[in-house]
Amino acid sequence: MKLREDEVLVPAPDCEIRSVVLSPVGEGPWPGVLLYTDIFQLTESTLRTARRLASAGYVVCVPEIYPRGELAGVALEFDDAGKQAGLEAAAGTTTDQFDADRVAVLDFMEQRSDITTLLAVGFCLGGHLAFRAALDPRVAATVCFYPTGLQNGALGADADAGSLARAASIRGRLMIVFGSRDPHVPADARAQIISALYAAGLDDLELHVYAGGEHAFMRDVGARHDPVLTDLALNEALSFFGGR
């Protein structure tokens, strides 16, 4: 499927959020996916993943997660300097700012005539942000890939954003994907997350743990990338979004 890519500025209360919108070429409308990046923002690696989702028949909106300050408009390199800059930008962003940006992007997507259902997906820090998107009643289904900080609530500048504590308010369908060798979400953290979700009454959800998967195994740059697991995870996500 051929795609169209547009860069847009989504208005938020105190900034504009640079976003890339990928749309199928052809008759719509289509379901819309809010895609949250990892800490490196709008890299070509993330956009390649977004293109794969869009080519399955979705309008995919990929916003920057740091639209304020010096990293606005910057795609970071996958090196130590890029990692440090991304972590520092996360540490300077509050949960309230992340949430306000989410509302702005979902409002933007909801107003588009080519989008029907609202969905969300995210990777790493973006996986946690996608989980918070699931708290919005407009979001019909969410996929979180190796979300960081869910087990203890750590999100950006906040030691505990209380994300899991609000899990009972999720009304849409939820799928979470982990790698078994992820040091950021080890087995005890995964058990804590799963227990909290079940305790919140979310027993109609999907949980996938891929044996041998490291953190960021879906990023197609670097030694941790696993192409086979990436294809499995993306196919599962698309099947999940399609209602099986």
Give backbone dihedrals phi and psi of 58, rounded to 5 degrees, phi first. Answer: -135, 145
Identify the pLDDT of residue 1. 84
**Domain 3-241 indexed as CATH 3.40.50.1820:** yes
For 100, 111, 118, 134, the CA distances from 107, given in Å and listed in that order, are: 11, 6, 10, 14
Give backbone dihedrals phi and psi of 29, rounded to 5 degrees, phi first. Answer: -80, 175
Show me where the domains of the chain are located.
3-241
Q: In which residue are the tokens 């959020």 written? A: 17
Identify the pLDDT of residue 204. 81
Query: 23, 3 in Cβ contact below 8 A?
Result: yes
Q: Over its length of 244 residues, how does the chain's per-residue pLDDT go in tens digits?
A: 899 999 999 999 999 999 999 999 988 899 999 999 999 999 999 999 999 999 999 999 999 999 999 999 999 999 999 999 999 999 999 999 999 999 999 999 999 999 999 999 999 999 999 999 999 999 999 999 999 999 999 999 999 999 999 999 999 999 999 999 999 999 999 999 999 999 999 988 999 999 999 999 999 999 999 999 999 999 999 999 998 7
The rounded radius of gyration (Å) of the Cα atoms in the chain is: 16
